[in-house]
Chains A and B, each alone.
Chain A
Amino acid sequence: MSRRRSVQLALLLGPAVALIGLLFLFPLLGVMKQSLFNPGFTTESLEKLATSPVAAIVLRRTFLLALSVTVLCCVFGYPIAYYLATMSKRWRAFFLYLILLPFWISVLIRTYTWMVLLGREGLVNNALVGIGLIDQPVQMLFTGFAVHLAMVQILLPIMVLTCFAAMVEIDPQLVRAARTLGASPFKAFARVFFPMSIGGAAAGAIICFILSLGFYVTPALLGGRRNIMLANLIDFEVHQTLNWSFASALALVLLAATLILLALFRLVAPERRLHG
């Protein structure tokens, strides 16, 4: 690399590196330190992490919830992306716009909107009682159902767009070639299109999973007493029990899980390039 080039690089990347280093990595080191020093070196928080029944339950539920939300996003997102990738360009722009639209509305507002819709005296219950389908309002708010619904709604566009990006790179001629060689429409999809799009779907799934792990507001507002996620527990340890050392240890678990998944993501991503 020439000297000029490295100066250029430093100028271009410097501000971003400084910003992340100062405002993200440096505080993160503080969090790590807090989990191990209180004030002298201690493994108390890490031991508590291993033995606390609450932490174990919350960790398990956080991962299970993230997993079920991710599976739902794949099930709904993949067909939508497929449909988008195969439709005419004019309609595609319109539908992409519709999918992007929710991104302009904050997660908090979307969560509150679900509260208005799902409440006991909310729109859905009032409509169902009004048309005589049910006598008593159904408890939808403050349940796992509400948390799933809202999280899938928030994460679905990300899944669709990631899948879509992989799918538009697939040459439609290849599927047509399979058909002319005698493959049935299903077989052409399963043997040609699907293997080439799976990298994009996997990348989308990992992003959805990582984002799900960190959800805080949605389960706090829409969930019941069982829908506590890791971020909510961290908040509780910071604000209620003042055990910041334990909160830091919990945060490290979240960070470690995210880093491992990001490493997985890098394994998945180049594969997509090979096929595209």
Chain B
Amino acid sequence: MTTMSRRRFTTGIAAALAVLAAPAAAQVTITVNGSGGSLAQTITRIYEEPFTKETGIKVRATAPVSLPKLKAMVESGNVEWDMTELGGSDVIEATKHGWLQPVDWKFVDPDNKLPDIAKRPNAMVTATFSTVLAYRTDKFPAGKGPKSWVDFWNVKDFPGPRALQNSPVGNLEFALLADGVAPDKLYPLDVERAFKKLDQIKDKVTVWWTTGAQHVQLLIDGEVVMTSVWNGRITPLRKEGRPVAITYQGGSLQLSYWGIPKGAKHPKEAMMYMRNRLDPAKGEQFVSAVPYPGFIPGLIERLTPEVARDLPIHPDNVAVQFRFDPEWWAAQRAPLTERWNAWLLQ
């Protein structure tokens, strides 16, 4: 303090603090939870890196999508995520328990261009995807692969081990379609009839998968000749030249959402990122790599016919699928899961 005046010292401290504080203000990092896998790299390239360049906000991606984790975070008050992906019935469950905070639609969609189907008070549709029937083209004569859930159940003309997801959700619908129920007459599901139909195929299903990576591996390894899959996982396999194909016939068209957990640390920045995800030019790049389109205004018009044809929401594909009903499942999930487990063990 002898060589430096008090004032100079104070200014020095202030300057130092300003230097320290400036990057801290710009260096907000939001944690965005998604499905991970090869998808995450595409999202980093198309959305996260440009977003950081434009706004200075860093994006840390985590995975996987997990309702139990959301529950644990909100209930313990230690919320790590600023935004998370959620399935349709997850959003209903999370809304019921108050685990999500409202989305400021005036900020995210100021011109009100998003269709109503894409907006909930506390969640935005991020993607549409389908659970569909996939099969190994090399295990059947050319052009003679399974075309529907009726064929999936037909083990005589389409022999070989099969896989299905270890969950009643979706499988009950597939069983009813295989039993001749019309796609628009599915809900409310005839549960007894569905389980009866599932009894017929039970022993031909050698694996009941739990993750997307698993069903891909089962097909590639030749463990099964056909399985239910998430449509987006098969597109990259086909690009690699693997002998796999999907049919949208009887597919389950579903929505997945972005939600902001209650108690998230950067809700404002998360909503900026949400708004950023609605850019049609980036959407075009994304959908060309991964066929999971959202309801981004002006997106479909930009796509080439080949890319559009592969999407779950292409009119031709919508026409042969059924619209999955998350509301029905949100109420029935717990008792039916219990019954499903008992059924599997027998």
Chain A residues within CB distance 8 Å of chain B: 52-54, 57-58, 61, 119-121, 139, 141-142, 224-226, 228, 233, 236, 238-244
With A and B bound together, what is the CA distance between A239 and B333 in angstroms? 13
B71, A242: Cβ atoms under 8 Å?
yes
Assess whether B308 is interfacial by the CB under 8 Å rule. no
B161, A236: Cβ atoms under 8 Å?
no
Q: Knowing A121-B221, A225-B208, A226-B345 are in contact, say whether A242-B338 is a contact too (CB < 8 A).
A: no
- The interface residues of chain B lying within 8 Å CB-to-CB of A244 are 68
Interface flags for B268-283 (1: CB within 8 Å of A; 0: not) read 0000000000000000
With A and B bound together, what is the CA distance between A4 and B344 in angstroms? 61
B167, A120: Cβ atoms under 8 Å?
no
A57, B342: Cβ atoms under 8 Å?
yes
- The interface residues of chain B lying within 8 Å CB-to-CB of A243 are 334
9 extra interchain contacts, Cβ-Cβ under 8 A, other than A54-B342, A139-B161, A142-B207?
A119-B222, A121-B222, A142-B206, A226-B344, A241-B333, A242-B67, A242-B71, A242-B93, A243-B334
B334, A239: Cβ atoms under 8 Å?
no
- The interface residues of chain B lying within 8 Å CB-to-CB of A241 are 333-334, 337-338
Closest residue of chain A to B71 (Cβ to Cβ) is A242
Q: Knowing A53-B342, A139-B206, A241-B338 are in contact, say whether A119-B221 is a contact too (CB < 8 A).
A: yes
Of the candidates B202, B207, B221, B341, which one forms a contact with A236 in the assembled complex, judged by CB atoms under 8 Å apart?
Answer: B341
Q: B206-223: which residues lie under 8 A (CB-CB) from chain A?
A: 206-208, 221-223
- The interface residues of chain B lying within 8 Å CB-to-CB of A57 are 342, 345
Chain B residues within CB distance 8 Å of chain A: 66-68, 71, 93, 161, 166-167, 202, 205-208, 221-223, 333-334, 337-338, 341-342, 344-345
- The interface residues of chain B lying within 8 Å CB-to-CB of A242 are 67-68, 71, 93
With A and B bound together, what is the CA distance between A119 and B71 in angstroms? 38
Nearest first, the 8 closest Cβ-Cβ pairs linking A and B are A121-B222, A225-B344, A54-B341, A57-B345, A54-B342, A142-B206, A241-B337, A142-B207
B222, A120: Cβ atoms under 8 Å?
yes
Q: Could you list 28 A-B pairs, sorted by A, with CB under 8 Å?
A: A52-B338, A53-B342, A61-B345, A119-B222, A120-B222, A121-B221, A121-B222, A139-B161, A139-B206, A142-B223, A224-B206, A225-B166, A225-B202, A225-B205, A225-B208, A225-B344, A226-B344, A233-B341, A236-B341, A238-B68, A239-B66, A241-B333, A241-B338, A242-B68, A242-B71, A242-B93, A243-B334, A244-B68
